[in-house]
Amino acid sequence: AGEGLLGPSPQFPLLQTYLDTFVGGCLEHFTNPDEGTVFAHKVLQDTQMWSPHWLNDRLLPHRPWVYEPKWEEIDGALEQAVGPFFARRKLPEEFAVNQCSKALTAVTRREELLQAQVEELKRQLKDMTSCCPK
């Protein structure tokens, strides 16, 4: 299962709201809350393709309890299962700035490469014209 799937990327990050639904469903699967917690932890540990491309898109990410009553259980399960990635999830504005910074760096690097190509072409033109009298 899951063969050939692409992992999260800057264009298609993990969404916190999807994980809230997924983990919340695991927690509610059993009538005994302890069994639901154990199940959620097991499912998260068995899940692959965790990624730093993780967008905390909750409506009020600084006050998650307003829209997600089980937020503490969900965040606790996620943090325990995938701590390093959980710690790096980003708010929408942080995610956008991070992506813009990467794009700007790429544009700057491309400009540097183009400038180097222009300089090389100038050098080649000078070499070609230096052998010929005017």
* pTM, to two decimals: 0.68
Considering the domain boundaries, does residue 133 fall inside one? yes
**pLDDT digits over 38-86, tens only?**
999 999 999 888 999 999 999 998 899 999 999 999 999 999 999 899 9
Considering the domain boundaries, does residue 5 fall inside one? no
Specify the higher pLDDT residue, 6 or 103.
6
Token pair listed for 42:
């097991």
**pLDDT digits over 110-133, tens only?**
777 888 888 888 888 888 777 776
Domain count, the chain: 2
Opening angle at CA 82, ends 81 and 87, nearest 5: 130
The answer on pLDDT for 30 being more than 80 is yes
Length of the chain: 134
99 and 134 assigned to the same domain:
yes
